[in-house]
Amino acid sequence: MVDRKKSEGFCNELDKIRIAKIIDNFIWEEPCVTDKNGVCAIFFSGCNLKCSYCQNYEISRGKVGKIYDEDEFIELLKEKEKNNSYFDFITPTHFSNAILNALKKYQPKIPIIWNSSGYESVKMLEKLDKYISIYLLDFKYIEDDLGKRLSHVSNYSTIAKKVLDFCAKKKDVFRDNLMKEGLILRHLVLPGEIKNSLDTLDYLASKYSDRFVSLMSQFTPTPQSPIKRKLSPLEYKIVVNKFLKSFQNGYIQDFDSASEDFIPKFLE
């Protein structure tokens, strides 16, 4: 076990919150959490996975951005909640402890979206849960082998299933057509991995066909990605057909979303 007070962990970060980018008025793919009054997207630096195809690789490998101590993070929340109607914490998992300590001292008045990879500790989520309004949760792979091959962890699916069961306890609450509490599941369709997508959707539908699911097509090869091509129209059509038969609620990203335009410019 690494002591992250002294050395960086697998996430390439110490235990102090580091933020790579903050974007006001961020537009999400899911309209139910895209309020015209603004979403403050906070991109944390580093990640507890190492997806070889990562679209955010410029920041997910860590050591990018500004370190915030607890008081500075609280001040940031106070400042940003004035002009936004949601906080979106993006890839926050490896800073869960520091975020929890800050939220115990100051709870923002606007909902917090916990936007994570699905690979995290249920015990920690139990502690965070009273401060989190919406889980925006990736479900990447249904087989642990694929998580090992593509994200360098041996038990992604095993962990993500437990996390999903926990997050699904949060009931969906809507006001003025906007989700104020609840769960949105995301699945990114990867080129060449259609079987994984079909099996993943089968699994999700077998347990949570009534929850919001967001199907994403936006994968774009980055220079370091071993996946060198975009999704084909036929691949996406097959998965979309399955999606339409499986879920009552959700969103299907346009096929032409596979563009670098969908990757924020992190290092500007």
Smallest gap from residue 245 Cβ to ligand SF4 (A): 27
Q: Which is nearer to ligand SF4, 110 or 163 (CB)?
A: 163
Q: How far is the CB of 222 from ligand SF4 (least distance, A)?
A: 10
Alpha-carbon span 26 to 146, nearest angstrom: 31
8 Å CB contact between 100 and 128: yes
Residue in 56, 84, 115, 253 binding ligand SF4, rule: CB under 6 A: 56
Q: Strand runs (DSSP E) across the chain, as ranges?
A: 17-23, 39-44, 66-68, 86-90, 112-116, 134-138, 173-175, 178-188, 212-216, 249-252
DSSP 3-state of 66: strand
Least Cβ distance, residue 218 to ligand SF4 (angstroms): 12
In the chain, how many H helices and how many E strands? 8, 10
- Map residues 136-155 to x or -, x wherever contact with ligand SF4 holds by CB under 6 A: ---------------x----
In this chain, which of 20, 51, 179, 189 binds ligand SF4, going by CB under 6 A? 51
Binding status of residue 60 toward ligand SF4 by CB under 6 A: yes
Report the distance separating Cα 147 and Cα 157, nearest Å: 7
Residue 76, both tokens: 């940031």
Closest distance between ligand SF4 and the C-beta of residue 7, in Å?
20
- Shortest separation between residue 68's beta carbon and ligand SF4, angstroms: 19
- Judged by CB under 6 A, the residue of 12, 84, 85, 91 near ligand SF4 is 91
Instruction: Tell me how many residues contact ligand SF4 (CB under 6 A).
Output: 10
Three-state DSSP class for 188? strand
Nearest to ligand SF4 of 84, 91 (CB atom): 91
| Radius of gyration of the chain measured on its C-alpha atoms | 18
Counting every residue, how long is the chain? 268
Rounded Cα distance, 159 and 94, in Å: 15
- Binding ligand SF4 (rule: CB under 6 A), the pick from 32, 54, 112, 113 is 54
In this structure, are strands 173-175 and 178-188 parallel, antiparallel, or unpaired? antiparallel
Of the candidate spans 50-58, 127-135, 190-198, 239-247, the one that interacts with ligand SF4 by CB under 6 A turns out to be 50-58
Residue 49 touching ligand SF4 (CB under 6 A): yes
Residues that bind ligand SF4 (CB under 6 A): 47, 49-51, 54, 56, 60, 91, 117, 151
